[in-house]
Structures are given as structure tokens and as C-alpha cells.
Amino acid sequence: MRYGYFDDANREYVITDPKTPWPWINYLGTEGFFSLISNTGGGYSFYRDALYRRITRYRYNGVPMDDGSRGFWIREVDGTLWSPGWKPARTPLDAYECRHGLGYTRITGTKSGLEASVLFTVPPGENAEVQNVTLRNAGEAVRRISFYAYVEFALWNAQADGENFQRNLSTGEVEVHGGTIIHKTEYRERRNHFSFYHSSRTPDGFDSDRESFVGLYEGLAAPLRVALGDSGDSIADGWSPVAAFRHDIDLAPGAAVELAFVLGYVENDPRDKWAAPGLVKRDAAEALIDRVGRPDRIAAAMEDLRDYWDDLLSRFRIDHPDDKLERMVNIWNPYQCMVTYNLARSASYFESGIGRGLGFRDTSQDLLGFVHQIPEKARERILDVAATQFPDGGCYHQYQPLTKKGNAGIGGNFRDDPLWLIAAVSAYVRETGDWDFLEATVPFDGGAEPQATVFTHLQRSFRQVLDNRGPHGLPLIGRADWNDCLNLNTFSTDPNDSFQTAGDGEGRVAESVFIAGMFVLYGRQYAEICRRTGRRDAADAALKEVAAMEAAVVEHGWDGQWYLRAYDARGGKVGSAECDEGKILIEPQGFCAMAEIGADRGLPETALESSERLLGTDHGLVILWPAYRDYHLELGEISSYPPGYKENGGIFCHNNPWVVIGETVAGRAEQAWHWYTRIAPAWREDISHLHRTEPYVYAQMIAGKEAARHGEAKNSWLTGTAAWNFVAISQHILGIRPHWDGLEIDPCVPAEWEGFVVERRFRGDSYRITVRNESRSGGRGIRSLSLDGRPLRGSVVPPVGDGGVHDVEAVL
Ligand code: GLC
Ligand code: GLC
């Protein structure tokens, strides 16, 4: 069952039933001011940091779900209350539509001939959410209504906001100036910032104290004042500051009225923050309102937004008969990559915005899906990430974006982390050709002074793995590798522990075959970087180590029908046919196939076939099988989840694309395409009732075959899944891949495809790449390639460098 449809021409998903199986959200803002907004108008806003600068309040896991933060109500003279987005009033509407677009959302509700439409966006470059309301009377009679608009302010620090009530309930402060309500809690002391809510029309009444507006025992479906049809004109003094405006409006038949509301954030100079004793200096707020707060200003903002996305999305565009493929590649997957890149794992409907900082490995992988859109941003982020590395090549698992310091609480010793830096730098250099980047200097360990070049950081990453090998010559796993929950050295018995930081996490025995796969794949790229920067000896030495690692995997990391996952702290096998549970785990199957480990003996194909047989489902490949039934002290968190969920047998969408890529490396297009289309949201739209999360973005997890709710997704939006699937489809199935020497054209597409056209911007030029599938082989390999009519040898198009548009033709 569907709850809407894709409007590809407008790059929107249109929701036609407000009662989606889970709130379906969108993100507004790309720079400083961010908002989450659901299809009924739920969500919240923050400035840069969802923990320290929370602007509006959101109650996670609430009952009812997704109430609070924003609200609009229309009160009819007969006392009927309704909301344009159905919630919070929940009065049935005659018509409802929510259009989630790129950086904006438009929600429209109609009741008895009155159409109320709200367009939400964050105008590019501004620290504000603008809400443009249009009320149109399509009926025959004059319509007399009161329109209420409301936000609930959070007390900045989102964590304290939800716990420190002995203080919070006494600190709230506001100022009211006509159509502007200023939230200035804590401004009197150490804050120089405030937020405000503004209405473009002079209100007929207002409230700034929540209890006066909502009531104490009433709910948001029918707040006290809205039910009464009046306002309390209240001034918050402690308790809970809100901003609510009432507009009494008469609409003649056919008439329409437009209103603009602005939720803004302003920082003042600490030495000049008062207009008069006790009164906030409002100049910057007024200027902001002036720029964005009139109904006629929204069109310009929408145009800027469209230009911004036109530019970003024009960097990779496919023309193909399959609408689902087009909408994933051209719109939604790159959009999700951008959102994930901006927000890391901080704020979604599954991430509360108060937890983790930026992950070393998460950020490095997010970059893989994003680097072609804004390479400069990727470059900056790599420098930040590298700066949290230790001199020995190890690194902090997470760092705080505001301070750029490593997070001491979680520490380091996740032994896959260093290799992701090689992956990120390699992707950046292949995209941009910016070899000078390797000589840029960066500090270690969050220091202030640049201490070593980016190249040195890579060298240390590589060495870190080599210097930490276990009894079988395979990399030690430390606290965990990519799978945060496979904790082979932590032995947690205390329910109050974090699984990942329990114990000392050291351990010189437990080894990871997955890290070995990464080492082989990224070690080759590292060797190539050495060679191309004139470090021939280092390149040769690195390749020898890579070969040794490959041999170690073939000898000790192959289980007979698939790659082993790991050795535990006692040297026991993890992910082997000999195990009772967890016989096969997906990560090494994908990664070692990508790295072609043991290809001369056909190991990748065997591993991929075993994966298909044992891990495959109609909803994608589960992470392991069979799931662990009991808690295993020696395995850690992985066995803590009920069978079929998360790392214990869920379909962890992040690593399905590794298998997809592995399939293309093995030249098996049908399988690659099959797995790609199992988890890609556009193909799951028809089963939205089962899938439950948004049909336009990937979720981190879909419940696996051993779960009661097999096929149900959770944790949508902020997941490395977005980046990896974009890599899988664009670089490996479509096969348009940044190469050191140019753009490599190496598709692996199903036999039935006739071909496709991709427009790709690359190092300043535009390429129009036409691929014709003449062989219909369902495998890999091009027969001919030409650039602007001239035949080329091999599969790489060298960059032209004239900033022009060039035609590439490839025949398979
Ligand atoms: C989460 C984490 C990621 C980890 C994965 C598997 O998605 O963000 O770092 O690799 O889970 O445990
Ligand atoms: C939990 C999750 C895992 C995530 C980790 C992050 O272990 O299961 O997916 O990576 O938390 O800290």
C-alpha cells in the first residue's frame, strides 16, 4: 500500500494520507539553521548543533507520536478546530497533501471549502525557518475564522531541557513586541543569542506562556485558547515559553490571504547585546525579518533553493527508461547523501540530537557519496577528521563538530577507523585530481599546530593496521570494527556499561577478516597514492604487505564456502559453518569480494553465492545467519538484540551495497541489480505499510527474516547506507567511476538494458556519456570507448580540462 506518490518533475514526494505508518520527514536548511519537518508539520529546529542550540522542543517517543514544537489551528465560528496538516487538531480534512521537496515542504489541508496551505523553508543563507501561509476561501459564503500559529521554545541545551526541571521551570523569559515574540531565556547571563517567532500581520492576540495557551490538562489537539477562540496575552515568566499568535480573518468567497511567520535565530555582539536595560537588542532580528518575513519574499528564496539544487544535482544525472532508477539517482539518493553529510548521525526521528558527535568512520564514508557534489566541503571535513588521529595512526572513534576535539568518553581502538581515512582521501583525489592535498598539513589528536601532511596520516593509518596483527597475521579488531556491536574484547556483564567501552578493549588475539578485506582494498589505493607521488619504494612495500594480507585471508580467513568473519579473544571462529549460530556474516563477503581476495580460486563468487543462499531475502540481505538466540559474553552487543533486529540478523542496509559492488566486480550484473532493488526505497514504495519509513530515503535497518516484523524498516535518513548505495549504483552498476587518470567507464548492467545516458560533471568539464549495451551480456567490460568521436584505448576518459561539454560513447 502507498501513502502518496513521486512527483519527479517537481522533485517532490507527495503524501496524500496524513496517517503515514510513521511520520515521514524532510530537512530544511543546509548551513546554520536546520529544521526537521514531518508530513503533518511535526519536528523541530536548531542552530548548527542539535544538542547545544536547540530552538524548539520535541518530545521523542511521545504519545501521541510527533506532537509539539509547531502548530497551526483554524477555529471556525461554530467552534470546529482543524489544522492544515491534520495534526495537531486531528480533525478529519476534506483534502490533504504534503509535498516534501528539496529543502522545503508544503502542506495543504482543505475543510468545507477553505484551503489552508503552508510552505516551510529555510531561505539559503538565512538563520530562519519561514512558514508562508495561504488561506483561500473556495466556498460560497464569507468565512470567518481565527488562525493560530504556535511554536514551543526549547531551553537551548536539549539534554538539560529534558531533565533539569528544578532550574528550567524558573528561567524562561520572553519579550513581546507586537508581532514578534522573543525567546531570551538565559540571555541575561552567558548567552548572546536569542530566537524569535514573528508574524507578518499584526496579531489580534498572542500568548507566550504555554500553560496560558494550551492549558495544563488540555492537549495540543485542542489548546485551551484555541477552543475558546481568544488569547491570554500572556507573558511567560519562568515555566515554558512559547509563541502563539491569533489572527481573526474574514474571507469573502473567492478571497485569499497570505501570512508569513518567521522562526529566527540571532547572535549579538556580547559587548553590545542590549537595546536598553533588560531589553534585547533587536536590530539583527528586524533586519532578518525584513529580508525574509514578507509573503512576497518567499518566491525569491524558493528560486535560490531551486538553483542550489539544480547545480548540485546536475553533477550526476541519468536518463533511463526506469522511473524508479531515475528518481533514486537524480533526486533522492543524492539529497539524502547531502542531508546525511550535513547532519552526520545527530538529528532525525531516530537520533535525538543529543548523543554522538561525528564518527570517524561514519564521516569518512558519508563523504564517498557526497564528494562529487561539493568537493571543497569534503576536503575541509577530511582535514577535521584527520586531525583527530593519534600519531600512531589510531584515532578517536568520534569527535565533536563544535570543538573539533576527539571524544574521550568513547576513546579509540576501533581498528577499522584508520583505513576509512584512506578511502576518503582516495575518493577525494580521484574526484578532484587535487594531488596537492596530500601535502596539506594537519595536527594530531586535536592539537592546534599542524604536525604532519595528509600523506603522513595515510601512512600512519596503513602502519597502524600492520603493527596490530594477531596470531593469524590478520588485523586485530580492538573494541570493534565497522560492526560496532561485534565486541570481541569487551566482555560486558554490567547492564549499566556501554558495550563498546566496557573492559580495556585491547586484546592481542581477536582478529577481523573484514578489516583484512578493507586493508587489501584500500591498501592498494594507498600504494597507488605512493606511486603517483613519487614514493616508489613505499608503493612496492605496501603492495607486498597487501599481498601478505591477502594470503593470510585465503589461508586463515576462508571457511570453505564463505569468508570467515573473525577470530574471537580465545582464537575461536566467528562466522563459520562450525558455529551453531552466526555461521555467516555479511561484511567480509562484501568487502573481500570487492577486494577480489582469492579471485584466482573463485572465492568471491563462492562467497557471493553463499550470501545469496543463506543471507538473501525479498527485502535484502541480512547481516548474519542464524541470529544469536542468547547473549554471548565473548561477542558482545551483537548478541544483545532480539533475533532479526539491528546487528543481530537485521538487514543492515549499509552493507548490502558492498555485496552489490562485489557482484559487479565479479561481473554478475543481474545479481547486483537484484540486490540493489531490494532495499532502494523507490522499489519499496508499494509496500509502505510494511516498510513504514519514508519511501524516498534509505533506512539503516529493515527487520530480518528471523524477526516477527520482517520487512519493517527503522532508522531512516542518517545512515552510511545513503553514501554506499550511491557509490554502488553510480560507480559500479552504471560504472562511471572517478579514476586517478580521469573518468573510468565500466558498467555492469542487466542484459535486458538497452543502455543509458549519464551527464557527469568532472574536474570542471561536463561529460555526456552514452552507454549502449550491445553485447547484452549481463557482465562487465566495454568493447569500445570514444571521446568527442575519437576512439580511446582502455576504459578511462582522460580529463579534457577546457571547461566544455564533451561526448563520450561506450559500447558494451
Ligand atoms: C551504525 C554506526 C556505524 C556502524 C554501524 C554498524 O550505523 O553509525 O558507525 O558501523 O552502526 O554497527
Ligand atoms: C548501537 C547500534 C549501532 C551503532 C552504535 C553507535 O550499538 O546498534 O548500530 O553503531 O550503537 O554507538
DSSP designation for 561: S
State if residue 647 touches ligand 1 by the CB under 6 angstroms criterion: yes
Query: How many CB atoms sit inside 10 A of residue 698's CB?
Result: 34
CA-to-CA separations, 113 to 78, 107, 117, 721, in angstroms, rounded: 15, 16, 13, 44
Find the distance separating the first CA and the last CA of the chain, reported in whole Å: 38
Average pLDDT of span 556-580 = 98
Q: Given this model, what pLDDT does residue 295 score?
A: 87
Average pLDDT of span 399-419 = 88
CA geometry: angle at 346 spanning 589 and 659, to 5°? 15
The runs of H, that is alpha helices, within 91-140 are none
State if residue 485 touches ligand 1 by the CB under 6 angstroms criterion: yes
Q: Side-chain half-sphere of 658: how many Cα atoms within 13 Å?
A: 31
Check whether 812 has a pLDDT greater than 90: yes
Q: Given this model, what pLDDT does residue 92 score?
A: 98
d(CA 52, CA 647): 30
72-81, 249-258, 349-358: segment of lowest average pLDDT: 349-358
Which CB contacts under 8 angstroms, 24+ apart, belong to 81-84? 81/221, 81/222, 81/226, 81/227, 82/109, 82/111, 83/40, 83/41, 83/109, 84/41, 84/108, 84/109, 84/116, 84/117, 84/118, 84/133
Q: Given this model, what pLDDT does residue 5 score?
A: 98
Q: Atom 9 (ligand 1): residue with closest C-alpha? A: 362
The grid coordinates of residue 24 equal: 515521514
Residue partners of 277: CB distance under 8 A and separation at least 6 = none
Q: Atom 8 (ligand 1): residue with closest C-alpha? A: 362
Q: How far is the CA of 356 from the centre of ligand 2 (A)?
A: 10
Q: How far is the CA of 648 from the centre of ligand 2 (A)?
A: 12
8 Å CB contact between 214 and 224: yes
Q: How far is the CA of 499 from the centre of ligand 2 (A)?
A: 10
Q: In 3D, which of 336, 437, 337 has the Cα closest to residue 380?
A: 437
Q: Given this model, what pLDDT does residue 505 score?
A: 80
State if residue 646 touches ligand 2 by the CB under 6 angstroms criterion: yes
Q: Atom 5 (ligand 2): residue with closest C-alpha? A: 484
Q: Given this model, what pLDDT does residue 504 score?
A: 81
State if residue 482 touches ligand 1 by the CB under 6 angstroms criterion: yes
Bond preceding residue 626 cis, omega within 30 of 0: yes
Check whether 405 has a pLDDT greater than 90: no
pLDDT (tens digit per residue) in 134-146: 999 999 999 999 9
Q: In 3D, which of 669, 683, 674 has the Cα closest to residue 323?
A: 683
Q: Given this model, what pLDDT does residue 408 score?
A: 86
d(CA 530, CA 541): 10
Where is 716: in which H helix or E strand? strand 713-716
Q: Given this model, what pLDDT does residue 367 score?
A: 97
Catalytic residue chosen out of the listed positions 484, 559, 568, 746: 484
State if residue 609 touches ligand 1 by the CB under 6 angstroms criterion: no
Q: Given this model, what pLDDT does residue 449 score?
A: 85
pLDDT (tens digit per residue) in 430-444: 999 999 999 999 999
d(CA 436, CA 593): 32
Q: Given this model, what pLDDT does residue 222 score?
A: 97
pLDDT (tens digit per residue) in 71-127: 999 999 999 999 999 999 999 999 999 999 999 999 999 999 999 999 999 999 999
Q: How far is the CA of 484 from the centre of ligand 2 (A)?
A: 6
pLDDT band at 388 (very low <50, low <70, confident <90, very high): very high
Q: In 3D, which of 391, 522, 537 has the Cα closest to residue 464?
A: 391
Looking at the DSSP assignment, which residues form a beta bridge with residue 811? 772, 784
Q: Given this model, what pLDDT does residue 450 score?
A: 82
Rounded to the nearest 10 degrees, what angle do helices 417-432 and 375-386 cross at? 150
What phi, psi does 652 have (nearest 5°)? -85, 100
Atom of ligand 2 nearest to the CA of 355: 12
Q: Given this model, what pLDDT does residue 403 score?
A: 79
d(CA 472, CA 488): 16
pLDDT (tens digit per residue) in 365-374: 999 999 999 9
Q: Which ligand is nearest to the CA of 652?
A: 1
State if residue 359 touches ligand 1 by the CB under 6 angstroms criterion: yes
Residues in the chain, total: 812
CA-to-CA separations, 213 to 57, 88, 750, in angstroms, rounded: 16, 14, 60
Best substitution site from 397, 638, 647, 648 to test ligand 2's pocket, by max atoms within 8 Å of Cβ? 647
Q: In 3D, which of 461, 317, 300, 479 has the Cα closest to residue 397?
A: 479
pLDDT (tens digit per residue) in 265-305: 999 999 999 999 999 999 999 999 999 999 889 999 999 99
Atom of ligand 2 nearest to the CA of 637: 7
Q: In 3D, which of 506, 487, 508, 509 has the Cα closest to residue 498?
A: 487
pLDDT (tens digit per residue) in 154-211: 999 999 999 999 999 999 999 999 999 999 999 999 999 999 999 999 999 999 999 9
8 Å CB contact between 195 and 155: no
Residue 746 appears among annotated catalytic residues: no
Query: How many CB atoms sit inside 10 A of residue 727's CB?
Result: 20
Mean pLDDT over the full length of the chain: 97
Best substitution site from 482, 624, 635, 648 to test ligand 1's pocket, by max atoms within 8 Å of Cβ? 482
State if residue 485 touches ligand 2 by the CB under 6 angstroms criterion: yes
State if residue 484 touches ligand 2 by the CB under 6 angstroms criterion: yes
d(CA 84, CA 33): 24
DSSP per residue, 219-268: -TTS-HHHHHT----B--BSS-EEEEEEEEEEE-TT-EEEEEEEEEEEE-
Query: How many CB atoms sit inside 10 A of residue 10's CB?
Result: 12
Atom of ligand 1 nearest to the CA of 485: 12
Q: Return the sign of the alpha-carbon dihedral for residues 576, 580, 584, 587.
A: negative
8 Å CB contact between 150 and 243: yes
Q: Given this model, what pLDDT does residue 186 score?
A: 98
What phi, psi does 730 have (nearest 5°)? -75, -40
pLDDT band at 573 (very low <50, low <70, confident <90, very high): very high
8 Å CB contact between 43 and 35: yes
State if residue 483 touches ligand 1 by the CB under 6 angstroms criterion: yes
Q: Which ligand is nearest to the CA of 344?
A: 1
CA geometry: angle at 210 spanning 205 and 213, to 5°? 40
pLDDT (tens digit per residue) in 640-690: 999 999 999 999 999 999 999 999 999 999 999 999 999 999 999 999 999
Q: Given this model, what pLDDT does residue 401 score?
A: 77
Residues above pLDDT 90, as percent of the chain: 95
Q: Given this model, what pLDDT does residue 499 score?
A: 92
Q: Given this model, what pLDDT does residue 567 score?
A: 98
Q: How far is the CA of 652 from the centre of ligand 2 (A)?
A: 12
